Amino acid sequence: MRAKRFIYNTLLLTIASLAIRGIGLTFQVYLSNKIGAAGIGLFQLIMSVQVLAVTFAVSGIRYAVCRLVSEEIGLDNPAGIRAAVRRCMVYALSFGSAACLILFFGAYRIGAIWVGDKRTVLSLRILAITLPLIAVSSVMGGYFTAVQRIVKFSSSQIFENLVRIFVVMILLNFVPAGNLEYACAAVSVGNVLGEILSVALIMLLYFFDVRQYGKERKKHPGMTRRMLHIALPMAFSAYARTALGTLQHLLVPKGLQKSGASPEAALSAYGTISGMVLPVVLFPIAIFTSVSEMIVPDLTEAQMRGDSALCSRIVNRTLSICLFFSIGVFGVFFAFARELGLAVYSSATPGYFIRIFSPLVIVMYMDTVTDGMLKGLGQQMHSMVYNIIDALSSVIMVYFLLPRYAVTAYVFTIFFTETLNFALSIRRLTKVVGVSVPLRDISLPFICIAGAVNFALLLLRLLGLPISPSPLVIAVHMLVTLLFYYILLRLVSCLTSSDVRRFATLFKQ
């Protein structure tokens, strides 16, 4: 029953996450065509500052809500759920409002002096309005994840994205061509309106959902202390990591300029990698994000009950299945990178970088799941320390290497730091649970994906559908490749009948 519940909720969250990312990627392609790579680069700089402000606004509260509510469920104390959410809401509004005021009144200093581009100031002031709303949304996200009804939260996120896109597409029609400041401001306004309506919807869903747990009939004197014990250490670690990450993003265009590129060329190169290539490469990570979120309450409940054997089974089987999928995604990106870049962005440059980054998807996807497992096992501090090491290494490498080696150094930095983070995380997970992934589960999927790619190319060529930079043709080639990959995984018994039966039983239900 636990396995079915986990798979069911993970599937729901995955479908919603893929929908959100699909909408976002489509919108990113629209923006790149509307404002160009330089405009994307400028907005990426704005968002790097916004991410830092959001980190302060949230201050670790989403995980704290998820952990507290999961603990109350594990202790069979439904009355404590309302208390946990109420305290976390006060915490979130306090930090969110403070972040809003700091960003709004400090926008000029941040944009003109720190970022070094006055065109970012207007957008930063607009985005400041979203910070209390994002903090509230984080509380709701933690609650719905813990109670395993994430479809309600995901529906609000999809609604938010649709509103944002609708508003932005209307406003961009009134922006003069080439005016990147107002174009970024239009996108920011869309974010604000989308966030307002999204929070209104999710709060309405919460009030209907939480009634099943009854009203608080007693005080919970230890709840605030437990919340702060979870949220504040994560918050301070997140501040450090995100500040370093923001610094890294601000240093990239400056480093590219020092290497000899013009300001616009530097923004274009930065925008191509960060705003165009990485969203495509990271699109399937929605599946791993779903798994990492859904695994937190299950591991927390098992740990609270002292069931170490269940923890070990969850961790090892999840790692193996995620490894199979990440290797499949790597093969698809590597094989069809050029045509994919041309199909999505009508340019060969993104495709070139998609192929370069394709091996890294294995590391990045697995690291996402590993981080989720560490949080579920109460090892969030170790995870945050590793993330800080990752971010600090990125800043140092970008600062010293980019002026000399330009884009090559930026690519190398991403590879090195992501690999370092994963190595540290999986080492810690091995110490806590005991990770054991058979060698055949690592080697055979590479053979399977190589065969799947060639089988798909041969079959579709024989059927009169050779590879070409057409969105439909690329989609067919990818789907057929993944189908062959699944068949080969079954033939070599990487995916077992037990795994398939779990999914089949789920859909019969």
Computed over every residue of the chain, the mean pLDDT equals: 85
Rounded distance, CA 86 to CA 239, Å? Answer: 24
The per-residue pLDDT for range 36-49, each reduced to its tens digit, is 888 888 998 999 99
Rounded distance, CA 315 to CA 375, Å? Answer: 12
Pick the more confident residue, 75 or 346: 346
What is the per-residue pLDDT for 6? 55
Rounded (10°) angle between helices 471-491 and 308-345 = 150
Say yes or no to pLDDT of 339 above 50.
yes
CA end-to-end distance (rounded Å), the chain:
11
What is the per-residue pLDDT for 97? 96
Q: Which of 37-46, 60-69, 303-312, 400-409 has the highest mean pLDDT?
A: 400-409
Rounded distance, CA 201 to CA 95, Å? Answer: 22
Extract the tokens encoding 416. Answer: 């090195």
What is the per-residue pLDDT for 409? 93
Say yes or no to pLDDT of 290 above 80.
no
In which element (H, E) is residue 99 found? helix 79-105
What is the per-residue pLDDT for 217? 55
Q: Which DSSP string corresponds to 196-252?
A: HHHHHHHHHHHHHHGGGG----S--TTHHHHHHHHHHHHHHHHHHHHHHHHHHHHHH
pTM confidence score: 0.75
The per-residue pLDDT for range 416-451, each reduced to its tens digit, is 999 999 999 999 988 888 777 778 888 999 999 999
Rounded distance, CA 452 to CA 466, Å? Answer: 15
The per-residue pLDDT for range 489-505, each reduced to its tens digit, is 989 888 777 666 554 44
The per-residue pLDDT for range 107-135, each reduced to its tens digit, is 999 998 888 889 999 999 999 999 999 99
What is the per-residue pLDDT for 448? 95
The values of phi and psi at residue 159, to 5°, are -60, -45
Cβ(62)–Cβ(134) below 8 Å: no
What is the per-residue pLDDT for 17? 67
Pick the more confident residue, 297 or 439: 439
What is the per-residue pLDDT for 509? 38
